[in-house]
Amino acid sequence: MILTTQMTQLFAVVLRRDRERVTEALLREGVMQFISTSEFDIARPDRPLEGPPEASLAELSDLRKRIEGVLHTIGTIPTPPTETDLKNRVTVRLDKEAELLDKLDGERDSIRERQRSLQQEILKLEDIRRQIDLYGVELGGLQTPGRQSMLAMQTGRIPASGVKRFEEMLKDLPALHVALGRQDGSVHYLLLSMKRDQEQIERILAGADWSRVDLPSELLSARKDLAKELTEKLQRLTEEQKQLQERVTTLIRQEEPHLKEVWVKLRIQELCARIQSSFETSSRTVLFAGWLASATKERLSAKIHEATEGRCYLEWHEADGREAAAEVPVQFNNPKVLAPFQMLVSNFGIPQYGTIDPTPFVMPLYLIMFGLMFADAGQGLVLAAAGLLGARLTRDNEAKRGTHNLLWLISWCGVSAIVFGVLFGSYFGLALVRPLWFDFHGIVAGHAQTRSVVRDVYDILSITIYFGIAVIAMGLLFNWVNLIRTGRWAELVFDKGGLLGGWIYAGGVYVASYMVHHGYKEFPSGGALFLLVGLPALLLLIKEPYHHIAHAKGHAENGPNPIFLVLTFLMQWIVELLEIFSGYLSNTLSFMRVAGLGIAHVCLMMSFFTLAEMTSGLGSVLILLVGNVLVIGLEGLSAAIQALRLNYYEFFTKFFHGTGRLYCPVSLRSEP
């Protein structure tokens, strides 16, 4: 669990006639990450080798994505293929399915065009209704809207033969035209439009032979409630929109079973094509290579022998962390409970093969940091409950796997807050139960009721400093283990994170501790100072000459002036010493933010209680309720971010370089 999974490289040769069976066996097992065979020193056949079916793979992928897009419009997520689907593998006719999708897209586009047209009409009418609601329109006597209104209103008539053309010309403008009745071969209209469009409206009216008239009262009497007319028209348009959407959904639902079946078949074809794109094929043989976990070696070997009936050559190479470790893919080896913290590690980077996986250590460190900054059992219970509820709702949704892990992380943070809240005796900011460790709230407020050795804010700061020293020391230890495993002996000794750097840091910690315990009035003896800090600093002077000699081998002897070299070595030594001292000092003091955030959390709760005491009854309860909600949201987020920052920049940077490649085998469960 502490180290990444042991990996093995396979180089295989099979007969071309066994190609499909071997492909299916490799896909069924789903344990191999393929690599190019060009890096192997092997004899190549004289006959040109066939290239990978790139065009075919691209076509399969494009068609599958088109089907996915169609299914997603009705909220359907296709289910990944199973072994049964692979066993009943069927080749899909791409042209036939593409034709079906084109037909579906054509019908959907025509419906969507009508939907867009309706939506434009709805927006125009809603704009007019807002103006009517603001300023009103009186039809009795035909009183026009007021000056402040953006509406323009007029009545008139057009020849009955020009009605269709008139309505078509008004279609693209926010205007309401209400037919009031017919008289003498003309249609009488009430026209409401926006004043800003008056110039365009006048041109349209002129083209429609519009005659402005004062309408008879009998025509107006039936149209006095213009707002009602407008609302009814909007309802009709909205209902038509809804029916059109239902038509689109029904159209896809009818084809859903077929599309899901085709998606599975295409996915299998795509995965097989992806595997075969890594094959190097001649007229008689197929070559392929890749990485897999060593624990799966025996099973995969048996399956390939079974698929080829023994007509194969398999060559295995165990990965060596000291040779080309960057080329070996990395598989995490953590239990499921650590998935949220593995997510934090992988977001920073992938550990190099053969080095320490920090995930098991990130879990306790992150939770301790969060708990010290957000120590409240009541608020932690809210976080834990919210995280558990969200994780339960997303547990079966593969598309939300990241969200699921994040919710579990929130739940774990809530548990940490509960534990530290009990230790500090804090329950929604109240000291309901005697603290098991020390009274954090009492110390910050200046009236601690506990006889704990932690008596004031400076003691709290000291706790976080000692915690930071332990975290940095752990990072240095991990760095030494990684350097030993990868055989980088010079870095182990001379690097600022190596033995000499650790020696200087330990000496600095001792000197600082000695001064604190002697009231900042006394230093350790000169001999102790030399052994603790001076000697490793002098030994560090060897680093640059050593590197110069090591890199000068095989080069011409006409190098730079010796005096210039000595000055360069001294300058680089001084710069590195300054970097070590300032870097480790800032790294250690950075952990004081843990105490700072914890104190800020307490002070914020105290401020809300002070505000609540200034009121009474329901107002006091509301202030405390809103205060706790704000603290849970803002302080919880701040504590989570600061804990992550300390892990990334004060812990990971000591040993973790994140230069590895994640192990991604081709399997039936591979991400599309």
Same domain for 139 and 212, yes or no, is: yes
Residue 173 predicted with pLDDT over 90 = no
Residue 573 falls inside a structural domain: yes
Residue 218 predicted with pLDDT over 70 = no
Which of 326, 329, 332 minimizes the C-alpha distance to 344? 332
What is the spatial distance between Cα 269 and Cα 563, in angstroms, rounded to a whole number?
A: 69
Residue 610 predicted with pLDDT over 80 = yes
Domain that holds residue 555: 359-654
Same domain for 393 and 508, yes or no, is: yes
Residue 472 predicted with pLDDT over 90 = yes
Segment 627-637 mean pLDDT: 93
Residue 596 predicted with pLDDT over 90 = yes
Q: What is the mean pLDDT of the chain?
A: 85
3-state secondary structure 411-471: HHHHHHHHHHHHHHCCECCECCCCCCCCCHHHHHHCCCCCCCCCCCHHHHHHHHHHHHHHH
Residue 167 falls inside a structural domain: yes
Same domain for 316 and 465, yes or no, is: no
Residue 398 falls inside a structural domain: yes
Residue 661 falls inside a structural domain: no
Same domain for 312 and 211, yes or no, is: no
Same domain for 52 and 143, yes or no, is: no
* List of residues 6+ apart from 394 with CB closer than 8 A: 400, 403, 404, 407
**pLDDT tens string 513-558:** 999 888 888 888 888 889 999 999 999 888 888 877 777 654 555 5
pLDDT classification of 227: cutoffs 50, 70, 90: low
Same domain for 383 and 498, yes or no, is: yes
Question: Is residue 486 within 8 Å of 355, Cβ to Cβ?
Answer: yes
Residue 658 predicted with pLDDT over 90 = no
Give, in order, the Cα–Cα distances in Å from 570 to each of 157, 214, 280, 559. Answer: 99, 101, 55, 18
Residue 143, classified by CB atoms within 10 Å of its CB into exposed (0-12), middle (13-18) or buried (19+), is: exposed
How high is the pLDDT of residue 566?
84
Same domain for 233 and 259, yes or no, is: no
Q: What one-character DSSP code corresponds to residue 324?
A: S
How high is the pLDDT of residue 138?
46
**pLDDT tens string 393-435:** 888 776 688 899 999 999 999 999 999 999 999 999 888 888 8
Helices (H) and strands (E) in the chain, counts: 24, 11
Same domain for 489 and 375, yes or no, is: yes
Residue 632 predicted with pLDDT over 90 = yes
How high is the pLDDT of residue 43?
58
Question: Is residue 543 within 8 Å of 575, Cβ to Cβ?
Answer: no
Give, in order, the Cα–Cα distances in Å from 399 to each of 80, 256, 357. Answer: 12, 20, 26
pLDDT classification of 48: cutoffs 50, 70, 90: very low
Same domain for 221 and 368, yes or no, is: no
Q: What is the CATH number of the domain that holds 176?
A: 3.30.70.2750
How high is the pLDDT of residue 657?
82
Q: Would the pTM count as exceeding 0.85?
A: no
How high is the pLDDT of residue 670?
86
Same domain for 178 and 310, yes or no, is: no
How high is the pLDDT of residue 231?
77
Quote the number of domains for the chain.
3
* List of residues 6+ apart from 203 with CB closer than 8 A: none
How high is the pLDDT of residue 110?
87
What dihedral angle (degrees, nearest 10) is formed by the CA atoms of 591, 595, 597, 601?
160
What is the spatial distance between Cα 221 and Cα 142, in angstroms, rounded to a whole number?
A: 11
Same domain for 520 and 624, yes or no, is: yes
What is the spatial distance between Cα 322 and Cα 316, in angstroms, rounded to a whole number?
A: 18
pLDDT classification of 382: cutoffs 50, 70, 90: very high
Structure tokens at 465: 């400093």
Residue 89 falls inside a structural domain: yes
- Give the CA angle between residues 97, 101, 104 to the nearest 5°: 140
How high is the pLDDT of residue 1?
65
Residue 353 falls inside a structural domain: no
